Amino acid sequence: MKRRLPPTLVVGGVLVGLVLVVALLSIVWTPTDPTHVEVAARLRGPGASGSLLGTDQLGRDELSRIMAGARNTLLVGVVTVVIAIGVGVPLGGIAALHRGPVEDVTMRLSDVLLAFPAILLAIMFAAVFNPSTVTAMAAIGIALVPVFARVVRGAGLQIMQQDYVTVTRTYGGGGVWIFVRHLLPNVGSVLIVQATVAFAIAILAEAALSYLGLGTPPPTPSWGRMLSESQTFLDQAPLLALWPGVCIALAVLGFNLLGDGLRELLDPRLIERVPTQG
Amino acid sequence: MAETLRVENLTVRVGSLEIIHGISFSLRAHERTGLIGESGSGKTLTALALMGLLPEGLHAEGRVAYQQRNLLELEEQDLCRLRGDRLAMVFQEPMTALNPVMKIGQQVAEPLRIHRGMRAREAHSAALDILHRVHLPDPEEKMQAYPHQLSGGQRQRAMIAMATACSPEVLIADEPTTALDVTVQAQILRLLVELVEDGGSSLLLITHDLPVVANVCQRVLVLYGGYVVEEGDIDVIFGQPAHPYTRALLDAIPPLDEEVPDRKLKAIAGSVPNLGEFPPGCPFRNRCPRADEACSVMPALSGDAHRVACWHPLA
């Protein structure tokens, strides 16, 4: 008997799917070039002269920029989550496997990182290097490392107590073997859930950084920057702030719902026991 | 018979508290040795100490000699190379001893991949052969199954397959049949005997189940309170036990052919004291009908083939 999919998973999946489709579509097609400036056609309302969502202060097509912005958003999300998992998971694994001083050092390091605001880290990076999508992604990625390190350590400590880990040791499995073959597959579902939530955090953080001018530099379209630029023209074209705002909200909502839905779907307590054979 | 493993003065401590008190014995090729005793007598700790897998906080001293090397002094890396290859262990609880998210075939193949450096495909077909050898029904199909899809007996067969994959010289089985029902028990024990006979290895069978020892083993070590109190051939130990504790253990087996008086089973007076609460001297003296002042000093294990540690041995 198949279980019904949790509604949060369906709604979240649809929203995330929508962002994904739009981002992919923008690679091959947008209504007009999102960086094409046409000052004569600036600040037009929706529907005017063939641009569905109107134009911005430089006469660029808003819809095209929103579509291209989705690509930027997803790129940032993927790269930051990859950084966070790539550093956080081995760190948490090492802590769970070795305990003692090694665990203390890695976990206190992650505490320090956790106490350090991502924005501050991004400002630091932007001051040292030039502010760019790369510095923003690095800052957000590093800020998310402790989240994954903690999740893996927590789940790992529990798994290290299991008999099958002891059994693995009786047939000669060392630390790396246990980590790759036994720990990772068992924390997989927790990681997937955590990754979707981290994705939402990353999107929001990138929007905030771009809004502050610490993220994606112009002319690459970014939802956060579009929001900040529209601020000046709020009384002339209030809808310009609405479009990127709605997009950020929907994307974040989508990933959060997806995370919740996956948590529900993968929760072992909710999975029906398969009857044992003879 | 050639000695495979020699244990000399093995002592296990947690902090300053001694749990295993300098026990000595040796395992020989083709020989099946039983290690018996009540819960808390130190059977499992002895096994874990031999494998170098004592839990954190416990320390082993003495000598566990394998091919002129003291296992207790080996680096973890070198131990990893021996474990599963030359020394292997089967655990009591087949329900939790297999990784629930890994297919049986993959798990049985693991020791081969670690020790024989086999590639996944090669190890897979070798694992199939091993599952045939442990008489797992439909091995092809079971290779693709997850642990929860197997019965207890089948899982224990898979565990034994993993432990014997590299034909170890020393196989330690820690209560391998305790979690299984009686009919399956007999099959698993027969399998263990068969594998040890064929492979020429030594078996150390840890159990509290005396009939199991009587069926499987040729030699017995009786453990109480962290001491080996008696050691000898199976017929001697079961026929003329010399230590009062061994006698009491044997008396506790309910006779099948006679009426039990007052329908009461014989039990050993009192219970095993908690760690650190054993009396000084012979650990059994507070439960022993023959104890006197002499017992405040622990006697040495003496004798040749049949060794006993008691001031007042029976017969």
Q: Is the pLDDT of residue A276 over 50?
A: no
* Euclidean distance between the first and the last CA atom of chain B, given in angstroms as a whole number: 30
Place A83 in a pLDDT band, splitting at 50, 70 and 90: very high
Nearest neighbour of B53 by CB, restricted to A164, A166, A185: A166
Nearest CA in chain A to B79: A172
pLDDT at A255 over 80: yes
Per residue in A176-192, pLDDT (tens digit) is: 888 888 888 888 888 88
* pLDDT recorded at residue B231: 92
Residues in chain A with CB shorter than 8 Å from the CB of B165 are 171
Q: What is the pLDDT of residue A79?
A: 92
ipTM of the complex: 0.76
Percentage of chain A lying above the pLDDT 90 cut:
5
Residue of B91, B106, B110, B175 best to disrupt the A interface, most CBs of A under 10 A? B110
Judge whether residue A270 has pLDDT over 80.
Answer: no
- Which positions in chain A touch B101 (Cβ < 8 Å)? 185-186, 188
Q: Point out which residues pair with B13 in neighbouring strands.
A: B18, B59
Tokens 């442990």 map to which residue? B134
Rounded mean pLDDT, A210-229: 81
* Number of CB pairs, chain A paired with chain B, less than 8 A apart: 85
Q: What is the mean pLDDT of residues A193-202?
A: 86
Please state whether beta strands B307-308 and B3-14 pair in parallel, antiparallel, or not at all (unpaired): unpaired
Residue B137 CA to its chain's centroid (Å): 26
Instruction: Quickly list DSSP for chain B.
Output: --EEEEEEEEEEEETTEEEEEEEEEEEETT-EEEEE--TTSSHHHHHHHHHT-PPTTEEEEEEEEETTEEGGGS-HHHHHHHBTTTEEEE-S-TTTSS-TTS-HHHHHHHHHHHHS---HHHHHHHHHHHHHHTT-SSHHHHHTS-GGGS-HHHHHHHHHHHHHTT--SEEEEESTTTTS-HHHHHHHHHHHHHHHHHHT-EEEEEES-HHHHHHH-SEEEEEETTEEEEEEEHHHHHHS--SHHHHHHHHTSPPSSSPPGGG-----SS-PPPTT-SPSSSTTTTT-TT--GGGGSPPPPB-SSSEE--SS---
Nearest to B244 by CA among B301, B186, B310: B310
Distance from the Cα of A182 to chain B's closest Cα (Å) equals 7
Contact residues, chain B, for A186 at CB < 8 Å:
99, 101
Contact list in A for residue B111 (CB cut-off 8 A) is 171-172
How close is the nearest chain B Cα to the Cα of A262, in Å? 18
CB-CB neighbors (< 8 A) of B96 in chain A: 162-164
pLDDT level of residue A216 (50, 70, 90 thresholds): confident
Distance of alpha carbon A121 from alpha carbon A111, whole angstroms: 15
- Spell out the alpha helix ranges (H) of A116-162: 118-128, 133-160
Facing residue for B149 by CB, picked from A168, A172, A277: A277
pLDDT at residue number B220: 93
**Inter-chain CB proximity A172 and B98 less than 8 Å:** no
Contact A162 B96 (CB under 8 A): yes
pLDDT category of residue A271 using cuts at 50, 70 and 90: low
A44-58 pLDDT per residue, tens: 777 766 677 777 777
A273 pLDDT exceeds 50?
A: no
Q: What is the pLDDT of residue B315?
A: 67
> What pLDDT, on the 0 to 100 scale, is given for residue A44?
73
Q: In this predicted model, which residue has the larger pLDDT, A229 or A82?
A: A82
Paired sense of beta strands B227-233 and B219-224, if any: antiparallel
Judged against a pLDDT cut of 50, whether residue A275 lies above it is answered with no
pLDDT in tens, chain B (315 residues): 688 899 999 999 988 888 888 899 989 888 899 999 888 788 888 998 998 888 888 888 999 998 888 988 888 888 888 888 888 998 887 788 888 888 899 889 988 888 888 888 888 999 999 898 888 889 889 999 888 888 888 888 888 888 888 888 899 998 888 877 888 888 888 888 888 888 888 999 999 888 889 889 999 999 998 899 999 999 998 888 889 999 888 888 877 777 766 667 777 877 788 887 888 888 888 888 888 888 888 888 888 888 888 898 886
